[in-house]
Chains A and B, each alone.
Chain A
Protein backbone atom coordinates (compact mmCIF):
# COMPACT_ATOMS: atom_id res chain seq x y z
CA UNK A 1 0.00 0.00 0.00
CA UNK A 2 1.35 3.37 -0.95
CA UNK A 3 1.29 5.95 1.80
CA UNK A 4 1.18 9.52 0.67
CA UNK A 5 0.64 12.35 3.04
CA UNK A 6 -0.07 15.50 1.11
CA UNK A 7 0.99 18.55 3.01
CA UNK A 8 0.10 21.91 1.49
CA UNK A 9 3.29 23.93 1.11
CA UNK A 10 1.87 26.88 3.01
CA UNK A 11 1.00 24.69 5.97
CA UNK A 12 4.62 24.32 6.95
CA UNK A 13 6.28 21.05 7.86
CA UNK A 14 4.03 18.31 9.06
CA UNK A 15 4.61 18.18 12.80
CA UNK A 16 3.10 14.94 13.90
CA UNK A 17 2.69 15.48 17.62
CA UNK A 18 1.64 11.90 18.18
CA UNK A 19 4.17 9.64 19.92
CA UNK A 20 5.61 6.80 17.88
CA UNK A 21 3.53 3.70 18.45
CA UNK A 22 5.11 0.62 20.00
CA UNK A 23 8.22 1.36 21.92
CA UNK A 24 9.73 -2.13 22.20
CA UNK A 25 9.56 -2.88 25.92
CA UNK A 26 9.02 -0.87 29.04
CA UNK A 27 8.14 -2.74 32.17
CA UNK A 28 6.30 -5.50 33.96
CA UNK A 29 2.83 -4.23 33.01
CA UNK A 30 3.70 -4.07 29.32
CA UNK A 31 5.60 -7.36 29.25
CA UNK A 32 2.61 -9.19 30.69
CA UNK A 33 -0.05 -6.97 29.14
CA UNK A 34 -2.18 -9.71 27.63
CA UNK A 35 -1.90 -12.05 30.62
CA UNK A 36 -2.87 -9.29 33.05
CA UNK A 37 -5.83 -8.23 30.91
CA UNK A 38 -7.08 -11.79 30.77
CA UNK A 39 -6.51 -12.32 34.50
CA UNK A 40 -8.47 -9.13 35.06
CA UNK A 41 -11.34 -10.65 33.09
CA UNK A 42 -11.02 -14.02 34.84
CA UNK A 43 -10.79 -12.54 38.34
CA UNK A 44 -14.07 -10.73 37.77
CA UNK A 45 -15.80 -13.96 36.80
CA UNK A 46 -14.47 -16.75 38.97
CA UNK A 47 -13.63 -15.54 42.46
CA UNK A 48 -15.65 -12.33 42.52
CA UNK A 49 -18.63 -13.04 40.27
CA UNK A 50 -19.31 -16.56 41.49
CA UNK A 51 -19.05 -15.32 45.06
CA UNK A 52 -21.65 -12.63 44.31
CA UNK A 53 -24.09 -15.30 43.11
CA UNK A 54 -23.61 -17.32 46.31
CA UNK A 55 -23.78 -14.21 48.49
CA UNK A 56 -27.01 -12.89 47.00
CA UNK A 57 -28.61 -16.34 47.04
CA UNK A 58 -27.73 -16.73 50.70
CA UNK A 59 -29.14 -13.30 51.49
CA UNK A 60 -32.41 -14.11 49.73
CA UNK A 61 -33.09 -16.64 52.51
CA UNK A 62 -33.81 -13.70 54.82
CA UNK A 63 -37.20 -13.52 53.17
CA UNK A 64 -38.35 -16.56 55.20
CA UNK A 65 -37.89 -14.86 58.57
CA UNK A 66 -37.04 -16.81 61.73
CA UNK A 67 -38.74 -19.34 64.01
CA UNK A 68 -39.62 -18.83 67.71
CA UNK A 69 -36.14 -19.88 68.84
CA UNK A 70 -34.51 -17.30 66.55
CA UNK A 71 -33.17 -19.90 64.12
CA UNK A 72 -33.75 -19.38 60.37
CA UNK A 73 -32.78 -20.73 56.95
CA UNK A 74 -30.61 -17.64 56.52
CA UNK A 75 -28.86 -18.44 59.80
CA UNK A 76 -28.38 -22.01 58.60
CA UNK A 77 -26.65 -20.77 55.44
CA UNK A 78 -24.49 -18.32 57.38
CA UNK A 79 -23.47 -21.03 59.85
CA UNK A 80 -22.56 -23.26 56.91
CA UNK A 81 -20.31 -20.53 55.45
CA UNK A 82 -18.76 -19.81 58.81
CA UNK A 83 -17.94 -23.50 59.21
CA UNK A 84 -15.63 -23.29 56.16
CA UNK A 85 -12.12 -24.38 57.15
CA UNK A 86 -9.57 -21.53 57.10
CA UNK A 87 -12.36 -19.07 56.35
CA UNK A 88 -10.12 -16.08 56.99
CA UNK A 89 -7.77 -17.20 54.22
CA UNK A 90 -10.69 -17.66 51.85
CA UNK A 91 -11.82 -14.16 52.76
CA UNK A 92 -8.35 -12.69 52.27
CA UNK A 93 -8.12 -14.41 48.87
CA UNK A 94 -11.47 -12.91 47.96
CA UNK A 95 -10.51 -9.43 49.12
CA UNK A 96 -7.28 -9.84 47.17
CA UNK A 97 -9.19 -10.83 44.03
CA UNK A 98 -11.48 -7.82 44.41
CA UNK A 99 -8.48 -5.52 44.94
CA UNK A 100 -6.71 -7.02 41.92
CA UNK A 101 -9.78 -6.65 39.69
CA UNK A 102 -10.49 -3.14 40.96
CA UNK A 103 -6.88 -1.95 40.83
CA UNK A 104 -6.30 -3.08 37.27
CA UNK A 105 -9.77 -1.89 36.29
CA UNK A 106 -9.04 1.64 37.53
CA UNK A 107 -5.73 1.57 35.67
CA UNK A 108 -7.40 0.39 32.45
CA UNK A 109 -10.00 3.13 32.74
CA UNK A 110 -7.44 5.94 32.68
CA UNK A 111 -7.45 7.93 29.48
CA UNK A 112 -10.53 6.40 27.86
CA UNK A 113 -12.94 8.78 26.13
CA UNK A 114 -16.55 7.66 26.66
CA UNK A 115 -18.69 9.18 23.90
CA UNK A 116 -22.20 7.95 24.52
CA UNK A 117 -23.68 11.40 23.98
CA UNK A 118 -22.24 11.43 20.44
CA UNK A 119 -22.70 7.79 19.52
CA UNK A 120 -25.98 6.97 21.20
CA UNK A 121 -26.72 3.29 21.04
CA UNK A 122 -27.46 0.52 23.50
CA UNK A 123 -24.02 -1.10 23.31
CA UNK A 124 -22.29 2.22 23.95
CA UNK A 125 -24.57 2.79 26.96
CA UNK A 126 -23.61 -0.65 28.24
CA UNK A 127 -19.95 0.21 27.81
CA UNK A 128 -20.34 3.49 29.69
CA UNK A 129 -22.51 2.00 32.44
CA UNK A 130 -19.97 -0.80 32.93
CA UNK A 131 -17.40 1.84 33.87
CA UNK A 132 -19.78 3.96 35.96
CA UNK A 133 -20.97 0.91 37.90
CA UNK A 134 -17.35 -0.10 38.44
CA UNK A 135 -16.77 3.05 40.50
CA UNK A 136 -20.09 2.73 42.33
CA UNK A 137 -19.39 -0.94 43.10
CA UNK A 138 -15.88 -0.15 44.30
CA UNK A 139 -17.14 2.39 46.85
CA UNK A 140 -20.09 0.23 47.82
CA UNK A 141 -18.09 -2.97 48.35
CA UNK A 142 -15.50 -1.12 50.42
CA UNK A 143 -18.07 0.48 52.72
CA UNK A 144 -20.08 -2.75 52.87
CA UNK A 145 -17.08 -4.82 54.00
CA UNK A 146 -15.73 -2.10 56.28
CA UNK A 147 -18.97 -1.64 58.22
CA UNK A 148 -20.34 -5.19 58.42
CA UNK A 149 -17.26 -7.39 58.24
CA UNK A 150 -14.46 -5.23 59.63
CA UNK A 151 -17.02 -3.61 61.96
CA UNK A 152 -15.69 -0.12 61.49
CA UNK A 153 -17.71 2.74 62.87
CA UNK A 154 -17.94 5.05 59.88
CA UNK A 155 -19.28 8.55 60.63
CA UNK A 156 -21.04 7.15 63.69
CA UNK A 157 -22.60 4.47 61.53
CA UNK A 158 -21.93 1.29 63.51
CA UNK A 159 -23.61 -1.88 62.23
CA UNK A 160 -21.32 -4.84 62.93
CA UNK A 161 -22.17 -8.30 61.65
CA UNK A 162 -21.70 -11.50 63.67
CA UNK A 163 -23.27 -14.88 62.91
CA UNK A 164 -23.84 -15.75 66.57
CA UNK A 165 -23.51 -13.86 69.84
CA UNK A 166 -23.74 -15.29 73.35
CA UNK A 167 -26.53 -13.53 75.26
CA UNK A 168 -24.73 -13.72 78.60
CA UNK A 169 -21.08 -13.09 77.79
CA UNK A 170 -21.20 -11.31 74.44
CA UNK A 171 -18.85 -13.96 73.03
CA UNK A 172 -19.18 -13.77 69.24
CA UNK A 173 -18.38 -17.33 68.20
CA UNK A 174 -21.49 -19.09 69.38
CA UNK A 175 -24.81 -18.54 71.09
CA UNK A 176 -27.91 -16.83 69.73
CA UNK A 177 -28.64 -16.74 66.00
CA UNK A 178 -27.87 -13.10 65.18
CA UNK A 179 -27.34 -13.14 61.38
CA UNK A 180 -30.85 -11.98 60.57
CA UNK A 181 -31.33 -9.43 63.41
CA UNK A 182 -27.93 -7.83 62.81
CA UNK A 183 -28.52 -7.58 59.05
CA UNK A 184 -31.98 -6.13 59.68
CA UNK A 185 -30.46 -3.67 62.14
CA UNK A 186 -27.84 -2.60 59.58
CA UNK A 187 -30.39 -1.97 56.83
CA UNK A 188 -32.99 -0.33 59.09
CA UNK A 189 -30.33 2.02 60.43
CA UNK A 190 -31.42 4.72 58.00
CA UNK A 191 -33.33 4.99 54.74
CA UNK A 192 -30.00 6.20 53.30
CA UNK A 193 -28.56 2.75 53.93
CA UNK A 194 -31.42 1.20 51.96
CA UNK A 195 -30.78 3.57 49.04
CA UNK A 196 -27.04 2.97 49.28
CA UNK A 197 -27.53 -0.79 49.19
CA UNK A 198 -30.04 -0.63 46.33
CA UNK A 199 -27.72 1.47 44.17
CA UNK A 200 -24.65 -0.50 45.21
CA UNK A 201 -26.04 -3.99 44.70
CA UNK A 202 -27.76 -3.14 41.41
CA UNK A 203 -24.46 -1.70 40.17
CA UNK A 204 -22.66 -4.89 41.16
CA UNK A 205 -25.30 -7.02 39.46
CA UNK A 206 -25.15 -5.00 36.24
CA UNK A 207 -21.36 -4.98 36.24
CA UNK A 208 -21.28 -8.74 36.75
CA UNK A 209 -23.94 -9.66 34.18
CA UNK A 210 -22.59 -7.29 31.53
CA UNK A 211 -19.02 -8.31 32.31
CA UNK A 212 -19.94 -11.93 31.78
CA UNK A 213 -21.43 -10.97 28.41
CA UNK A 214 -18.35 -9.07 27.22
CA UNK A 215 -15.96 -11.68 28.66
CA UNK A 216 -17.47 -14.23 26.29
CA UNK A 217 -16.44 -11.96 23.38
CA UNK A 218 -13.03 -11.21 24.88
CA UNK A 219 -12.16 -14.87 25.28
CA UNK A 220 -13.59 -15.71 21.88
CA UNK A 221 -16.48 -17.87 23.11
CA UNK A 222 -19.31 -15.99 21.42
CA UNK A 223 -18.24 -15.02 17.92
CA UNK A 224 -21.28 -14.59 15.69
CA UNK A 225 -23.87 -11.90 16.27
CA UNK A 226 -26.42 -14.63 16.97
CA UNK A 227 -24.21 -16.21 19.61
CA UNK A 228 -23.63 -12.84 21.24
CA UNK A 229 -27.38 -12.16 21.26
CA UNK A 230 -28.23 -15.57 22.74
CA UNK A 231 -25.55 -15.27 25.42
CA UNK A 232 -26.92 -11.78 26.07
CA UNK A 233 -30.29 -13.27 27.01
CA UNK A 234 -28.55 -15.68 29.39
CA UNK A 235 -26.63 -12.86 31.07
CA UNK A 236 -29.73 -10.67 31.29
CA UNK A 237 -31.53 -13.63 32.89
CA UNK A 238 -28.74 -13.93 35.42
CA UNK A 239 -29.03 -10.20 36.13
CA UNK A 240 -32.79 -10.48 36.66
CA UNK A 241 -32.39 -13.49 38.95
CA UNK A 242 -29.75 -11.76 41.07
CA UNK A 243 -31.93 -8.64 41.29
CA UNK A 244 -34.80 -10.84 42.48
CA UNK A 245 -32.53 -12.39 45.15
CA UNK A 246 -31.56 -8.91 46.28
CA UNK A 247 -35.18 -7.77 46.48
CA UNK A 248 -36.09 -10.87 48.50
CA UNK A 249 -33.23 -10.13 50.90
CA UNK A 250 -34.25 -6.50 51.19
CA UNK A 251 -37.88 -7.42 51.92
CA UNK A 252 -36.69 -9.95 54.52
CA UNK A 253 -34.43 -7.43 56.25
CA UNK A 254 -36.94 -4.58 56.24
CA UNK A 255 -39.97 -6.57 57.37
CA UNK A 256 -38.04 -7.95 60.35
CA UNK A 257 -39.26 -6.04 63.40
CA UNK A 258 -36.39 -5.59 65.84
CA UNK A 259 -38.76 -4.84 68.73
CA UNK A 260 -41.23 -7.69 68.39
CA UNK A 261 -39.53 -10.37 66.22
CA UNK A 262 -36.41 -10.94 68.29
CA UNK A 263 -36.44 -13.44 71.14
CA UNK A 264 -35.49 -12.11 74.56
CA UNK A 265 -32.13 -13.80 74.32
CA UNK A 266 -31.51 -12.25 70.90
CA UNK A 267 -32.29 -8.83 72.41
CA UNK A 268 -29.80 -9.46 75.17
CA UNK A 269 -27.21 -10.59 72.61
CA UNK A 270 -27.78 -7.46 70.55
CA UNK A 271 -27.32 -5.39 73.72
CA UNK A 272 -23.87 -6.94 74.03
CA UNK A 273 -22.57 -6.03 70.55
CA UNK A 274 -24.56 -2.85 69.83
CA UNK A 275 -25.55 -1.34 73.20
CA UNK A 276 -27.12 1.67 71.46
CA UNK A 277 -29.48 -0.28 69.17
CA UNK A 278 -32.68 0.66 70.99
CA UNK A 279 -32.00 4.34 70.42
CA UNK A 280 -30.81 4.05 66.83
CA UNK A 281 -32.91 1.33 65.34
CA UNK A 282 -36.36 2.97 65.13
CA UNK A 283 -34.88 5.61 62.83
CA UNK A 284 -36.65 4.52 59.68
CA UNK A 285 -39.16 1.76 59.34
CA UNK A 286 -40.01 0.74 62.88
CA UNK A 287 -42.05 3.77 63.80
Chain B
Protein backbone atom coordinates (compact mmCIF):
# COMPACT_ATOMS: atom_id res chain seq x y z
CA UNK B 1 0.00 0.00 0.00
CA UNK B 2 2.82 2.34 0.88
CA UNK B 3 4.59 1.32 -2.27
CA UNK B 4 1.58 2.08 -4.43
CA UNK B 5 1.10 5.45 -2.73
CA UNK B 6 4.68 6.45 -3.30
CA UNK B 7 4.39 5.36 -6.94
CA UNK B 8 1.32 7.51 -7.38
CA UNK B 9 2.91 10.56 -5.80
CA UNK B 10 6.12 10.17 -7.77
CA UNK B 11 4.05 9.97 -10.96
CA UNK B 12 2.39 13.26 -10.14
CA UNK B 13 5.42 15.19 -8.99
CA UNK B 14 8.61 13.80 -10.43
CA UNK B 15 11.87 15.01 -8.96
CA UNK B 16 13.52 15.55 -12.31
CA UNK B 17 12.31 16.01 -15.84
CA UNK B 18 14.07 14.74 -18.93
CA UNK B 19 14.41 17.36 -21.66
CA UNK B 20 15.61 16.43 -25.14
CA UNK B 21 17.07 19.37 -27.01
CA UNK B 22 17.75 19.51 -30.74
CA UNK B 23 21.08 21.30 -30.92
CA UNK B 24 23.04 22.87 -33.72
CA UNK B 25 26.44 24.48 -33.20
CA UNK B 26 26.51 26.74 -36.21
CA UNK B 27 24.06 27.82 -38.93
CA UNK B 28 25.85 25.57 -41.43
CA UNK B 29 26.41 22.43 -39.33
CA UNK B 30 24.16 19.43 -38.81
CA UNK B 31 21.77 19.27 -35.86
CA UNK B 32 22.06 16.61 -33.14
CA UNK B 33 20.12 15.66 -30.01
CA UNK B 34 21.15 15.93 -26.37
CA UNK B 35 19.17 14.88 -23.30
CA UNK B 36 19.24 16.88 -20.06
CA UNK B 37 17.71 16.22 -16.67
CA UNK B 38 16.48 19.26 -14.80
CA UNK B 39 14.87 19.45 -11.36
CA UNK B 40 11.10 19.57 -11.47
CA UNK B 41 9.79 22.84 -10.05
CA UNK B 42 6.05 23.44 -9.95
CA UNK B 43 4.96 26.35 -12.17
CA UNK B 44 8.36 26.55 -13.83
CA UNK B 45 8.30 27.47 -17.47
CA UNK B 46 10.48 26.09 -20.26
CA UNK B 47 12.79 29.11 -20.05
CA UNK B 48 13.59 28.39 -16.41
CA UNK B 49 14.42 24.82 -17.45
CA UNK B 50 16.79 26.22 -20.06
CA UNK B 51 18.29 28.47 -17.36
CA UNK B 52 18.77 25.37 -15.21
CA UNK B 53 20.63 23.76 -18.11
CA UNK B 54 22.69 26.93 -18.62
CA UNK B 55 23.73 26.96 -14.97
CA UNK B 56 24.77 23.32 -15.12
CA UNK B 57 25.33 22.30 -18.75
CA UNK B 58 25.76 18.57 -18.14
CA UNK B 59 23.85 16.05 -20.25
CA UNK B 60 21.81 13.24 -18.73
CA UNK B 61 24.70 10.86 -19.43
CA UNK B 62 27.11 13.10 -17.52
CA UNK B 63 28.98 14.89 -20.28
CA UNK B 64 29.82 18.54 -19.79
CA UNK B 65 28.72 20.47 -22.94
CA UNK B 66 28.26 24.03 -24.12
CA UNK B 67 25.08 25.55 -22.66
CA UNK B 68 21.99 25.55 -24.86
CA UNK B 69 21.40 28.85 -26.69
CA UNK B 70 17.93 30.28 -27.07
CA UNK B 71 16.27 33.61 -27.74
CA UNK B 72 14.03 35.41 -25.30
CA UNK B 73 13.16 38.85 -24.12
CA UNK B 74 9.93 39.87 -22.40
CA UNK B 75 9.11 36.61 -20.57
CA UNK B 76 5.41 37.46 -20.66
CA UNK B 77 4.30 36.34 -24.15
CA UNK B 78 4.23 39.72 -25.83
CA UNK B 79 7.54 39.86 -27.73
CA UNK B 80 7.48 36.56 -29.63
CA UNK B 81 11.23 36.01 -29.37
CA UNK B 82 11.25 32.75 -27.40
CA UNK B 83 9.09 30.78 -29.85
CA UNK B 84 10.26 27.20 -30.33
CA UNK B 85 8.75 23.82 -31.13
CA UNK B 86 7.80 22.19 -27.83
CA UNK B 87 6.68 18.57 -28.04
CA UNK B 88 6.05 19.05 -31.75
CA UNK B 89 3.98 22.22 -31.50
CA UNK B 90 5.15 25.81 -32.02
CA UNK B 91 4.63 27.98 -28.93
CA UNK B 92 6.40 30.38 -26.59
CA UNK B 93 8.78 28.84 -24.10
CA UNK B 94 7.98 31.60 -21.58
CA UNK B 95 4.28 30.76 -21.37
CA UNK B 96 4.66 26.98 -21.58
CA UNK B 97 4.57 25.66 -18.05
CA UNK B 98 6.40 22.52 -17.09
CA UNK B 99 3.56 20.89 -15.19
CA UNK B 100 1.24 21.24 -18.20
CA UNK B 101 3.61 19.03 -20.14
CA UNK B 102 4.48 16.61 -17.38
CA UNK B 103 1.16 15.85 -15.75
CA UNK B 104 -1.43 16.79 -18.31
CA UNK B 105 -3.89 14.28 -16.91
CA UNK B 106 -2.11 11.33 -18.47
CA UNK B 107 0.31 11.05 -15.58
CA UNK B 108 3.16 9.99 -17.84
CA UNK B 109 6.54 11.28 -16.83
CA UNK B 110 8.60 8.83 -18.87
CA UNK B 111 8.17 10.82 -22.04
CA UNK B 112 10.86 13.47 -22.30
CA UNK B 113 9.98 17.04 -23.19
CA UNK B 114 11.27 17.68 -26.70
CA UNK B 115 12.57 21.14 -27.61
CA UNK B 116 13.39 21.99 -31.22
CA UNK B 117 14.04 25.25 -33.03
CA UNK B 118 11.33 26.33 -35.47
CA UNK B 119 11.82 24.42 -38.72
CA UNK B 120 10.74 27.19 -41.10
CA UNK B 121 13.50 29.66 -40.17
CA UNK B 122 17.30 29.41 -40.43
CA UNK B 123 18.87 28.22 -37.19
CA UNK B 124 21.60 30.46 -35.79
CA UNK B 125 22.43 28.19 -32.89
CA UNK B 126 20.51 25.52 -30.95
CA UNK B 127 17.01 26.88 -30.34
CA UNK B 128 17.85 30.36 -31.64
CA UNK B 129 16.47 31.10 -35.13
CA UNK B 130 16.67 34.06 -37.49
CA UNK B 131 13.15 35.43 -37.97
CA UNK B 132 14.11 38.31 -40.26
CA UNK B 133 12.03 36.85 -43.12
CA UNK B 134 8.95 38.02 -41.24
CA UNK B 135 10.29 41.55 -40.85
CA UNK B 136 11.34 41.68 -44.50
CA UNK B 137 7.83 40.64 -45.49
CA UNK B 138 6.37 43.42 -43.32
CA UNK B 139 8.54 45.86 -45.26
CA UNK B 140 7.34 44.37 -48.56
CA UNK B 141 3.70 45.11 -47.70
CA UNK B 142 4.55 48.57 -46.27
CA UNK B 143 3.33 47.63 -42.83
CA UNK B 144 3.15 51.19 -41.49
CA UNK B 145 1.02 54.35 -41.49
CA UNK B 146 2.51 57.02 -43.79
CA UNK B 147 2.62 60.23 -41.74
CA UNK B 148 6.07 61.57 -42.62
CA UNK B 149 6.05 65.06 -44.09
CA UNK B 150 6.85 68.72 -43.52
CA UNK B 151 3.35 69.98 -42.73
CA UNK B 152 0.88 69.17 -40.00
CA UNK B 153 -1.65 66.54 -41.01
CA UNK B 154 -4.13 67.68 -38.39
CA UNK B 155 -5.90 65.36 -36.03
CA UNK B 156 -6.24 61.67 -36.81
CA UNK B 157 -9.39 60.21 -38.32
CA UNK B 158 -12.21 58.92 -36.16
CA UNK B 159 -12.69 55.18 -36.03
CA UNK B 160 -15.85 53.25 -35.26
CA UNK B 161 -15.93 50.69 -32.50
CA UNK B 162 -16.28 47.60 -34.70
CA UNK B 163 -13.25 48.52 -36.79
CA UNK B 164 -11.33 49.39 -33.62
CA UNK B 165 -12.13 45.99 -32.09
CA UNK B 166 -10.92 44.18 -35.20
CA UNK B 167 -7.79 46.28 -35.48
CA UNK B 168 -6.99 45.87 -31.82
CA UNK B 169 -7.15 42.11 -32.24
CA UNK B 170 -4.84 42.31 -35.28
CA UNK B 171 -2.47 44.69 -33.47
CA UNK B 172 -1.66 41.98 -30.93
CA UNK B 173 0.58 40.18 -33.45
CA UNK B 174 4.05 39.83 -31.94
CA UNK B 175 5.75 38.38 -35.04
CA UNK B 176 6.49 35.16 -33.15
CA UNK B 177 6.14 32.86 -36.17
CA UNK B 178 3.83 30.19 -34.70
CA UNK B 179 1.33 30.62 -37.56
CA UNK B 180 4.12 30.14 -40.11
CA UNK B 181 5.69 27.17 -38.34
CA UNK B 182 2.28 25.42 -38.36
CA UNK B 183 1.46 26.37 -41.96
CA UNK B 184 1.88 23.56 -44.52
CA UNK B 185 2.14 26.12 -47.34
CA UNK B 186 4.91 28.15 -45.67
CA UNK B 187 8.17 26.29 -46.14
CA UNK B 188 11.78 27.00 -45.29
CA UNK B 189 12.69 28.19 -48.76
CA UNK B 190 9.55 29.24 -50.65
CA UNK B 191 8.34 32.84 -50.85
CA UNK B 192 4.91 32.55 -49.21
CA UNK B 193 4.42 35.33 -46.66
CA UNK B 194 1.91 33.47 -44.49
CA UNK B 195 -0.84 34.53 -42.10
CA UNK B 196 1.32 36.93 -40.07
CA UNK B 197 1.84 39.40 -42.93
CA UNK B 198 -1.67 38.97 -44.35
CA UNK B 199 -3.08 39.90 -40.93
CA UNK B 200 -0.88 42.98 -40.78
CA UNK B 201 -1.82 44.00 -44.33
CA UNK B 202 -5.45 44.06 -43.22
CA UNK B 203 -4.49 45.88 -40.00
CA UNK B 204 -2.91 48.77 -41.91
CA UNK B 205 -5.47 48.73 -44.74
CA UNK B 206 -8.21 49.25 -42.16
CA UNK B 207 -6.48 52.33 -40.75
CA UNK B 208 -7.85 55.49 -42.41
CA UNK B 209 -4.42 56.99 -43.00
CA UNK B 210 -2.72 53.64 -43.49
CA UNK B 211 -5.21 52.97 -46.31
CA UNK B 212 -3.26 55.46 -48.45
CA UNK B 213 -0.89 52.58 -49.14
CA UNK B 214 -3.67 50.03 -49.63
CA UNK B 215 -3.04 49.58 -53.38
CA UNK B 216 0.66 48.99 -52.77
CA UNK B 217 -0.13 46.40 -50.11
CA UNK B 218 -2.66 44.62 -52.29
CA UNK B 219 -0.19 44.50 -55.17
CA UNK B 220 2.33 42.91 -52.82
CA UNK B 221 -0.42 40.50 -51.77
CA UNK B 222 -1.02 39.60 -55.44
CA UNK B 223 2.67 38.96 -56.11
CA UNK B 224 4.22 35.47 -55.96
CA UNK B 225 4.19 34.34 -52.35
CA UNK B 226 1.19 36.53 -51.61
CA UNK B 227 -2.27 35.67 -50.37
CA UNK B 228 -3.09 33.40 -53.32
CA UNK B 229 -0.65 30.83 -51.92
CA UNK B 230 -2.81 30.27 -48.83
CA UNK B 231 -4.12 26.68 -48.79
CA UNK B 232 -6.81 27.16 -46.11
CA UNK B 233 -5.43 24.56 -43.72
CA UNK B 234 -6.35 27.07 -40.99
CA UNK B 235 -3.65 25.89 -38.61
CA UNK B 236 -2.52 29.51 -38.18
CA UNK B 237 -5.58 30.62 -36.29
CA UNK B 238 -5.43 27.57 -34.01
CA UNK B 239 -1.81 27.97 -32.95
CA UNK B 240 -1.79 31.78 -32.67
CA UNK B 241 -0.96 32.50 -29.00
CA UNK B 242 -2.45 36.00 -29.27
CA UNK B 243 -5.69 34.66 -30.78
CA UNK B 244 -5.63 36.88 -33.85
CA UNK B 245 -8.62 36.36 -36.17
CA UNK B 246 -6.22 35.20 -38.87
CA UNK B 247 -8.59 33.21 -41.09
CA UNK B 248 -11.05 36.11 -41.13
CA UNK B 249 -8.16 38.43 -42.01
CA UNK B 250 -7.13 36.12 -44.85
CA UNK B 251 -10.70 36.08 -46.20
CA UNK B 252 -10.92 39.90 -45.89
CA UNK B 253 -7.66 40.46 -47.74
CA UNK B 254 -8.86 37.84 -50.23
CA UNK B 255 -11.90 40.02 -50.90
CA UNK B 256 -9.77 43.17 -51.13
CA UNK B 257 -7.44 41.55 -53.66
CA UNK B 258 -10.39 40.20 -55.68
CA UNK B 259 -11.89 43.70 -55.92
CA UNK B 260 -8.50 45.30 -56.56
CA UNK B 261 -7.61 42.80 -59.28
CA UNK B 262 -10.95 43.18 -61.08
CA UNK B 263 -10.71 46.99 -60.88
CA UNK B 264 -7.20 47.06 -62.24
CA UNK B 265 -8.14 44.53 -64.95
CA UNK B 266 -10.76 46.92 -66.30
CA UNK B 267 -9.17 50.29 -65.55
CA UNK B 268 -5.53 49.35 -66.12
CA UNK B 269 -4.82 50.99 -62.73
Chain A contacts to B: CB under 8 angstroms: 1, 3, 5-8, 11-12, 14-19, 21-22, 29-30, 33-35, 37-38, 108, 111-115, 118-119, 121, 123-124, 126-128, 130, 214, 217-225, 228
Residues of A within 8 A of B135 (CB): 1, 3
Chain B positions 48 through 66: 1 when the CB is less than 8 Å from some CB of chain A, otherwise 0: 0000000000000000000
Q: How far is the CA of A15 from the CA of B28 in the complex (A)?
A: 7
Given contact pairs A21-B225, A119-B182, A223-B251, A1 touches B138 in the complex (Cβ within 8 A): yes
Kindly specify which of B36-44, B94-102, B146-154, B187-195 makes contact with the partner chain: B187-195
Q: Are B261 and A34 in contact (CB under 8 A)?
A: yes
**Chain B residues closer than 8 Å to A115, beta-carbon distance:** 182, 184, 235
Give the complex CA separation of A84 and B114 in angstroms. 63
Q: Out of A5, A19, A34, A112, which one reaches B223, CB within 8 Å?
A: A34
By the criterion CB–CB under 8 Å, are B28 and A223 in contact? no
Residues of A within 8 A of B251 (CB): 217, 220, 222-223, 228
For residue B89, give the distance in angstroms from its CB to the closest CB of chain A: 7
List residues of chain A with CB within 8 A of the CB of B223. 22, 30, 33-34
Q: Are A119 and B235 in contact (CB under 8 A)?
A: yes
**Is B254 located at the chain interface by the 8 A CB criterion?**
yes
How many interface residues does B have (CB within 8 Å)?
A: 58
Residues of B within 8 A of A6 (CB): 71, 128
Is the CB–CB distance between A112 and B231 below 8 Å? yes
Residues of A with C-beta under 8 A to B258? 38, 219-220
Per the 8 Å Cβ criterion, residues 3-25 of B in contact with A are: 25
| B103 contacts A by Cβ under 8 Å | no
> Contact at A214–B132, with CB atoms within 8 Å?
no
Interface string of B164-186 (1 = CB under 8 A from A): 00000000000000000010110
B residues with a Cβ closer than 8 A to A are 25-28, 69, 71, 88-89, 121-122, 124-125, 128, 130, 132-133, 135-138, 140, 182, 184-185, 187-191, 222-226, 228-235, 238-239, 245, 247-248, 250-259, 261
Select which of B124, B136, B191, B235 is within 8 A of A5 by beta carbon.
B124
Minimum distance in angstroms from B192 CB to a CB of chain A? 9
Apart from A17-B27, A214-B231, what are 17 other A-B pairs with CB-CB below 8 Å? A1-B138, A11-B26, A14-B130, A21-B133, A21-B140, A34-B261, A108-B229, A112-B231, A118-B88, A119-B235, A124-B233, A214-B232, A217-B254, A219-B254, A219-B255, A220-B258, A228-B247
Question: How far, in Å, is A134 (CB) from chain B's closest CB?
Answer: 12
A22 to B224, CA, bound (A): 8
Across-interface contacts of A108 in B (CB, < 8 A): 229
A219–B28 CA distance with the chains assembled, in angstroms:
41
How far, in Å, is B144 (CB) from chain A's closest CB? 9
Contact B230 A5, beta carbon cutoff 8 Å: no
B238 surroundings in chain A (CB, below 8 A) = 119, 121, 123
